[in-house]
Chains A and B, each alone.
Chain A
Amino acid sequence: MSHPVWEVFRQERRGQPFEHAGSVVAPDADFAEAWAREQYGRRGESVALWLVPRDAIRDVEDWADEFDLKYRRVDGYSIKARLKEARERAGTVGPG
């Protein structure tokens, strides 16, 4: 594409994450700012914007998952059975 695209990230309220909101086609940062200000802020919907040329963004989309790395994820732990056994041993199993 010949025309420069600027990605717009907006923050809705102070403290919130910046989220991708869309893009504007603009020749430079000044035009991108003038235009993104209105497109993403005229109704008070943003308190801050980050403007980034699309080319500056590195897109990362895939991870290898060949080996058993369950220990790194929440679903890799099954607490219930062991907890039940521990409570039974300690005599602290509650009603029901």
Chain B
Amino acid sequence: MAAVEIPQEEQAFLEYVQGGGQVETTDWMTDDYRAKLIKFIEMHGNSELMGVLPEREWILRAPTLQRKLALTAKVQDEVGHAQLIYRVVEDLGKPREQCLADLVDGKAKFHNVFHYPTKTWGDVGVIAWLVDAAAIISQKALLKCSYAPYARIMKKICWEESFHILHGRDVILAMVTGTPEQFELVQEALDRWWGPLMQFHGNPIPSDEDPMYLWRIKSQGNEEARQQFLDGYVPQIWELGLTVPDPKLRKRDDGVWEYTEPDWAELKHVVTGHGPKTQERLALRRGFLEQEQWVRDAVLAA
């Protein structure tokens, strides 16, 4: 039986991936597919790396040894994910150094949620529980990615993320069953994070206009992901006696969640580098990259 040959022509290649065909690193692919793949995967890597920054401050402030260890392990996973992801991008043709340079120069994007400040231990719980939940929904939609090396790392990433949600839920439960002040910390953090969470999956794009969907890089549209998030997590929020700061939020009889339209202008503004913490965090990354260039030179030199 002849090995499956990937057709070396644009339309035939599109049909191949749409029909469930898998692509490996050394296979032929269209320039457009490769370019879109690099951009999408790079943004994921950037997001994992930038996602570390809001959380690592709280590693130093964790109120028990167990929480300190769990939070360190969670953030460590995110760095590990960045490593896995940048390796995939590098094998597609864009070196890690270039990705990091583009990130700190503001030329590459990362997810909206990582542009916002963290203010209290309540944020630590809300991020691990809800932001990671939103992320895991997107990540599960990548498990069948047509580009096989990316699909394969997603399996490890999703497995590790499941620990984060458990940790987040545990942190939240400890606080909502603790003092009234601790309950209030969680509610206040939730009130601040709700807007970015609703924007996280992106504005609704029809599937047939979404290149990521057409090229079977992801298997789920933005709105579908958001609905899945609401369906999974709003009941969990409400059952703890917490409120969601959206008076319009409700589930219709047909199962669809209604909500106040997220501020898409804010989303665009933030991901293009104007979030409340964007420049400060990029500067921190840039500073450490520069300070430690000598280490990379010493280690990776022949």
- Residues of A participating in the B interface, judged by any CB pair closer than 8 Å: 1-3, 5, 21-25, 27, 31, 39, 42-43, 45, 59, 61-63, 65, 73
Given A24-B83, A27-B299, A61-B3, verify A1-B95 contact (CB < 8 Å): yes
Determine if B90 and A63 form an interchain contact, defined as CB atoms under 8 angstroms apart.
Answer: no
CA distance A59 to B27 in the complex (A): 12
Given A27-B299, A31-B299, A43-B160, verify A22-B153 contact (CB < 8 Å): yes
Determine if A39 and B83 form an interchain contact, defined as CB atoms under 8 angstroms apart.
Answer: yes
Starting from the known contacts A1-B95, A25-B87, A63-B2, 18 additional A-B residue pairs (CB-CB under 8 Å) come to A1-B90, A2-B300, A5-B87, A21-B156, A22-B84, A24-B83, A25-B90, A27-B299, A27-B301, A39-B83, A42-B73, A43-B160, A43-B163, A45-B159, A61-B26, A62-B2, A62-B3, A65-B2
> Hey, which chain A residues are within 8 Å of B96, CB to CB?
25
Q: Answer whether residue B106 sits at the interface, using C-beta atoms and an 8 A cutoff.
A: no
Chain B nearest Cβ from A68, distance in angstroms: 12
Q: Answer whether residue B205 sits at the interface, using C-beta atoms and an 8 A cutoff.
A: no
Q: Answer whether residue B65 sits at the interface, using C-beta atoms and an 8 A cutoff.
A: no
Label chain A's interface by main secondary structure: loop
Residues 25-58 (chain B) with a chain A CB within 8 angstroms: 26
Label chain B's interface by main secondary structure: helix
Determine if B299 and A22 form an interchain contact, defined as CB atoms under 8 angstroms apart.
Answer: no
CA distance A14 to B84 in the complex (A): 25
Chain A nearest Cβ from B290, distance in angstroms: 19
- Residues of B participating in the A interface, judged by any CB pair closer than 8 Å: 1-3, 26, 73, 76, 80, 83-84, 87, 90, 95-96, 152-153, 156, 159-160, 163, 299-301
CA distance A24 to B299 in the complex (A): 13
> Hey, which chain A residues are within 8 Å of B152, CB to CB?
22
Chain B nearest Cβ from A36, distance in angstroms: 11
CA distance A22 to B299 in the complex (A): 21
A-B contact pairs, 29 of them (CB 8 A): A1-B90, A2-B300, A3-B300, A5-B87, A21-B156, A22-B84, A22-B87, A22-B152, A22-B156, A23-B87, A24-B83, A25-B87, A25-B90, A25-B96, A25-B300, A27-B301, A31-B299, A39-B83, A39-B84, A42-B73, A43-B160, A43-B163, A59-B26, A61-B3, A61-B26, A62-B2, A62-B3, A65-B1, A65-B2
